[in-house]
Structure 1
Amino acid sequence: MKKNVLLLETIADDALTILEEHVNVLTGYDEASLIEVLKNPEIHAVITRGKGQIDKALMEACPALLIAARCGVGLDNVDVQEATNRNIMVINAPGSNAATIAEHSLSLMLMLMRNMYESVSQVKQDNWNWRNQYAGDELNGKTLGILGMGNIGKRVAKLGEAFGMNVLYWSRSPQDLPYTYLSMNEVLQQSDVVSLHLPFTKETGTIIGEEQLALMKPNSLLINTARGALIDHEALLKALNDKKISGFAADVLPEEPPVPGFPILHHLRALVTPHSGSLTASTYRQMCVLTVKNVVAVLKGETHDAKSIFNYKALKERV
């Protein structure tokens, strides 16, 4: 008998086709439809992307739940501890967004360093003479400091190196890499560009606040394509206003979508994209297909990618 899988959000067409071939697909894209679907006690897996919450309440409403899955890497919207307590397998797609987030990070660096956004904006307003007051610089020869050297951090380091940057990094422990490992404070002090590539957890918390911003060079840039809550945005706004740092660019914010008038969005030395770094056609499909294939494999008792299992407790007898 086919297992029942609940989708909290839409997924890529190719992934949906795979899912529909092997399981019964139920959808709960809004509150009303979710309430209706949850009347079915036999939901064996829940799949979300970035918004749908797989929390304690949902798990309690699905007593037969075997899998909590996210088509993506971060697990902010999945209560991993609760899933572990309930012997529910957590599946994600590690590494699937490394290339695209690294590209996005470099794009933000380039736009900010070269003042590209303002240049394009002025030309679109027919102000070619903007070139007479243009002020910008280049990445070549600058020092890139990376906080967090996972899959994305390593990719950003390679791209930065290709642009002629000197790479420094901090992570929880030094790794066998051709880059200089320093303390976080030393990375902040010595870097021209600081790029964040850390998860937000109870252990990391907010790692960039007033104290850390004060360590950075006045002409330095801060880039965040990881998690918005890693930065104290009140301290960041003050640092920008007081010219303690030169610029900020991000694809993530502490609250998404932000409240209207969120100050950073309108700051002259800040660039923010709407958490779109992973939404390229290739990566979106890859994240969804990888996750769905592993969900199906586990439900059918077939071989799955062990790297995609965030936590695992013996479920063989339940599947």
Structure 2
Amino acid sequence: MKAVFLDQFSLDQNDLDFSGWYQVFDEVTFFERTDPDQVLERIADVDVVVTNKVVITADMMQQRPQLKLILISATGTNNVDLIQAKAQNIVVCNCQAYGTAAVAQHTMMLMLNLATSFIQYDRAVRAGEWNKASQFCLLDFPIAELNGKTLGILGYGELGQAVAKLAEAFGMKVIVAHLPGRPAAADRVSLESLLRQSDFISLHCPLTETTRDLIDAEAFSLMKESAYLINCARGGIVNEQALAEALINRRIAGAATDVLSIEPPQQGNVLLNSDIPNLIITPHSAWGSVEARQRIVQQVQENAAAFKAGQPIRQVN
């Protein structure tokens, strides 16, 4: 099999091992990036396309009938026209559950930063405030213990369960809400109940038409003023204007997000305004541990080998 990886840089920071790919592919070419007008040329004589975020359209597939396999080096499949791939008998496989430990760890990091006012204390020390203190310590910003607090989780798949396990190790009480459009279950509470009860709310659900703007102004009005919101799921689940207003008006105590509605935010974003208090933003990096990214490399290899053996795995079309 002859393969091309169209956007290696979106996955690899010169810290990953691709040697296993040479065991399954007869030939593989790597490109750091591929612009839309370069795709057709670069997939002209290959059987296998590996893509992280480069879009493979129906028209591209129609013009390259020799394609047999598209390997997505991520979980999301919206960059590949699955209907056309199926029509042309092109198998499409993705990667799954590679970043559970990384995202769960990142979620807890954000939670701890909010609970301890870590960023505020770090900035105060760097600004010389500790040097000027009249006592041995600074206690200028609130510090809360996670122990005994209630964590509300929206989205209780593998990620949500991993976060729950870590939170319970800190002594937190965990409650889970059933998502809109899904049947109620005995071990789930309503969204309204979760919003009212939780000291911290962590989002781990997919972005769908039923979860878009799920956390909006009305939701913030139900939350405790002492509550914190954490989003390591997808931008768009939280209405960003409503979040900005909730923080500015001190409707909630703070928030942290690893995702925005449009990424990268090249045209700006309301949440990037410097006057929004107690907001932590990380650049969609929760998944990006070297271990998680190496698992993606391994899963791409596994997917290619399984296809070669006639038994595709992680197939999405």
The answer on 1:310 being equivalent to 2:310 is: no
Superposed CA deviations along residues 219-255 of structure 1, whole A, max 9, x for unmatched, are 1111111111211111111111222211110111111
Q: Is the 8 A contact 2:248 2:277 kept in 1?
A: no
1:284 is matched with 293
3-state SS, counterpart of residue 256 of structure 1 = coil
Counterparts of residues 1-319 of structure 1 (less than 5 Å): 3-10=1-8, 11-12=11-12, 16-23=18-25, 24-28=27-31, 29-31=33-35, 33-38=38-43, 40=44, 42-49=45-52, 51-84=53-86, 86-128=88-130, 129=133, 131-171=138-178, 172-173=182-183, 180-259=187-266, 261-265=268-272, 266=274, 267-298=276-307, 300-304=308-312, 306=313, 308-311=314-317
**5+ residue gaps in structure 2?**
none
Pick closer, same or farther for the CA change 1:175–1:48 going to 2, 3 Å: farther
Q: CA deviation at 1:279?
A: 1.3
3-state SS, counterpart of residue 195 of structure 1 = strand
Find the aligned partners of 2:197 and 2:149 in 1 and give their Cα distance.
10
Q: Is the 8 A contact 1:27 1:37 kept in 2?
A: no
3-state SS, counterpart of residue 146 of structure 1 = strand
Letter in 1 for 2:93: I
Pick closer, same or farther for the CA change 1:206–1:303 going to 2, 3 Å: same
Find the aligned partners of 1:81 and 1:239 in 2 and give their Cα distance.
41
Superposed CA deviations along residues 251-289 of structure 1, whole A, max 9, x for unmatched, are 111111113653313322110111111111111101221
Single out whichever of 109-118 and 23-32 deviates more from structure 2: 23-32
Q: Is the 8 A contact 2:216 2:239 kept in 1?
A: yes
3-state SS, counterpart of residue 230 of structure 1 = coil
Find the aligned partners of 2:194 and 2:4 in 1 and give their Cα distance.
44
Q: Pairwise CA RMSD of aligned residues?
A: 2.5
3-state SS, counterpart of residue 297 of structure 2 = helix
Letter in 2 for 1:43: V
Find the aligned partners of 1:274 and 1:20 in 2 and give their Cα distance.
32
Q: Is the 8 A contact 1:19 1:296 kept in 2?
A: no
Pick closer, same or farther for the CA change 1:150–1:119 going to 2, 3 Å: same
Structure with greater helix share of residues: 1
3-state SS, counterpart of residue 17 of structure 1 = coil
Q: Is the 8 A contact 2:71 2:303 kept in 1?
A: no
Q: TM-score, normalised by structure 2?
A: 0.85
Q: Is the 8 A contact 2:230 2:256 kept in 1?
A: yes
Q: CA deviation at 1:302?
A: 4.8
Q: Is the 8 A contact 1:69 1:91 kept in 2?
A: yes
Find the aligned partners of 1:165 and 1:52 in 2 and give their Cα distance.
41
**5+ residue gaps in structure 1?**
312-319
Q: Is the 8 A contact 1:18 1:293 kept in 2?
A: no
Letter in 2 for 1:309: Q
Find the aligned partners of 2:19 and 2:38 in 1 and give their Cα distance.
21
Q: Is the 8 A contact 2:51 2:73 kept in 1?
A: yes
- How many residues align? The count is 300
3-state SS, counterpart of residue 201 of structure 2 = strand
Percent identity, aligned pairs only, is 33
Find the aligned partners of 2:244 and 2:183 in 1 and give their Cα distance.
31
